[in-house]
């Protein structure tokens, strides 16, 4: 499956482009639950919850003062346009290019921020906020998480670089209306990078927090609290 990288970057192989190939995070992660991959309330219950604008979402992002000392906000990366090939993952192949490029989360209303802790390239945490109807957020996010965690191991070719992928479902905190969580291990050049991604849908807003597992766990509650404070 040969695809082009979309402008919207989120839960898929495009994450690789933002990761340092030489970094290693050995943070121990909590084993995956054997129950359903995510918890949910029916998305139809929130259909009257109007989507928020990108400007409104931007105001709900964390800033350095929310995180505490030692954090620096990274400049936004320019859009990537590398060729991507996914090998060995029928679930992603069934979804076609959307799963490999993040198109399924290409919601028009969005805001993003990435922070580093004490300048460490393997100590990053990023926040993404999206807004759309509850059903669209639910369906798009669920498709991507189910496809990725349906393949415990596969390979991504970004340009001429081969990157091994391993995915693991994680227990999901009981927050918001729906929750998803996974652990991703990127292997390239003899080094591993471990990234945790947790998504929480609250009505017509979707929060995705990604990065070092310890930082994701540490900041999830405050990230969601600020994102939903004025709703």
DSSP string for residues in 50-98: PPPPHHHHHHTS--HHHH-TTEEEPPPPPPP--EEEEES-HHHHHHTHH
Q: How high is the mean pLDDT of the chain?
A: 76
Q: Which pLDDT score, from 0 to 100, does residue 55 have?
A: 95
The answer to whether 93 and 1 are in contact (CB under 8 A) is yes
Query: Could you give the percent of the chain with pLDDT greater than 90?
Result: 38
Q: Which pLDDT score, from 0 to 100, does residue 47 have?
A: 45
Q: Which pLDDT score, from 0 to 100, does residue 189 have?
A: 85
Give the integer Cα–Cα distance in Å for 197 and 73: 19
The residue that leads in pLDDT, 43 or 160, is 160
The model's pTM is: 0.79
Could you read off the pLDDT of 56-79 as tens digits, one per residue? 999 999 999 999 889 999 887 665
Element (H, E) at 39: strand 38-40
Q: Give the single-character DSSP code of 9.
A: -
Residue 217, pLDDT above cutoff 70 = yes
The answer to whether 213 and 183 are in contact (CB under 8 A) is yes
The pLDDT-based confidence of 203 (bands split at 50, 70, 90) is: very high
Could you read off the pLDDT of 207-216 as tens digits, one per residue? 999 998 999 9
Coil vs helix vs strand at 101: helix
């Amino acid at each position: 499956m040969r695809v082009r990288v979309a402008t919207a970057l989120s839960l898929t192989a495009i994450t690789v482009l933002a990761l340092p190939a030489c970094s290693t995070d050995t943070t121990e992660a909590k084993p995956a639950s054997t129950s359903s991959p995510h918890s949910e309330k029916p998305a139809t219950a929130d259909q009257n919850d109007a989507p928020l604008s990108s400007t409104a979402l931007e105001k709900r992002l964390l800033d350095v003062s929310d995180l505490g000392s030692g954090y620096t906000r990274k400049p936004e990366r320019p859009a990537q346009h590398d060729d991507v090939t996914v090998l060995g993952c029928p679930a992603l192949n069934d979804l076609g290019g959307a799963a490999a490029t993040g198109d399924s989360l290409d919601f028009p209303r969005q805001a993003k921020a990435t922070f580093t802790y004490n300048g460490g390239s393997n100590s990053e945490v990023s926040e993404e906020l999206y807004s759309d109807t509850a059903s669209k957020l639910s369906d798009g996010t669920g498709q991507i998480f189910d496809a990725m965690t349906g393949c415990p191991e596969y390979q991504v070719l970004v340009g001429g670089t081969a990157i091994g992928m391993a995915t693991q479902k994680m227990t999901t905190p009981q927050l918001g209306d729906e929750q998803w969580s996974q652990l991703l291990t990127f292997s390239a050049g003899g080094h591993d990078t471990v990234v945790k991604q947790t998504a929480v849908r609250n009505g017509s807003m979707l929060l995705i927090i990604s990065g070092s597992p310890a930082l994701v766990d540490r900041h999830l509650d405050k990230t969601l609290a600020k994102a939903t404070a004025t709703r």
